[in-house]
Amino acid sequence: MKRFAIPAGVVLAVVMLTTGASAQPPPTPRFAVIHLTFNHNKTLFPADCLGTVTLETIPSQNNDPVTWLIRNGNAENDDDVCMGIDRSQVSLHFKDDVMGVAVHKVLTATQIMHKGKMVWAIQGTVDKGIMKGNYRYQVFYKNMAAGPDPEVDVACDSCGGGGH
């Protein structure tokens, strides 16, 4: 039986052609943090917890994955933790289809592995066909408005640190 040597480059090219892989690296995930704190005054936002996103504007490009990590408290101390919080009840409600959620425009929390441990987070991907501009969303807790509306800025030219 004769043996044939196949150059590694040929094998890689065949694998890339048959799997549809491209030379483009995957987009760099964008991260933000939702800090949930106790709501002392439910006049403006009715939820038990307030949700504040660390980045008022998330710079991004089309097809960028975005992850919002969910934390309880203000990160400095435990004075404002939201007691009895259920992180699975945190959601983001989008005013349009920026995250490709055309039907419901809502992303909900799930558990993910992050830096070696399980955490609660909300994940989405900027729609690959969304137009350049600012897209508003709002944090909800137990289906009630829980904070002001930050933005996802798509194809931002001057956001600093955003896009690729």
Rounded CA separation 127/94 (Å): 12
User: Distance (Å, rounded) from C-alpha 154 to C-alpha 50?
Assistant: 26
pLDDT in tens, 28-74: 778 999 999 999 999 999 999 999 999 889 999 888 999 999 999 88
The per-residue pLDDT for 107 is 92
Q: Which of the two residues, 16 and 72, has the higher pLDDT score?
A: 72
CATH number for 36: 2.60.40
Residue type, 126: V
Buried b (16+ CB within 10 A) or exposed e, 10-26: eeeeeeeeeeeeeeeee
Ramachandran category for residue 157: left, alpha or beta (phi over 0 → left; psi -120 to 50 → alpha): alpha
CB 91 within 8 A of CB 123: no
Domain-embedded: residue 161: no
Q: Could you tell me if residue 156 is inside a domain? A: no
Domain count of the chain?
A: 1
Residue 13 domain flag: no
Task: Judge whether residue 125 has pLDDT over 60.
Answer: yes
The rounded mean pLDDT for the chain is 82
Flag whether 2 is in a domain: no
Give a yes or no: residue 154 inside a domain.
no
Please tell me the predicted confidence (pLDDT) of residue 80.
86
- What is the pLDDT, as a whole number, of residue 79? 79
**Residues forming a β-bridge with 32:** 68
Q: Indicate whether 162 belongs to any domain.
A: no
Residue 124 falls within a domain, yes or no?
Answer: yes
CA atoms within 13 A on the CB side of 108: 7
Task: Note the pLDDT tens digit of each residue in 88-104.
Answer: 999 999 988 899 865 56
d(CA 97, CA 45): 24
Report pTM. Answer: 0.78
- pLDDT of 17 reads 42
What domain range is 91 assigned to? 20-148
Residue 103: predicted pLDDT = 56
Phi, psi values for residue 14, rounded to 5° = -65, -45
In a domain, 92, yes or no: yes
The whole-angstrom separation of Cα 30 and Cα 115 is 15
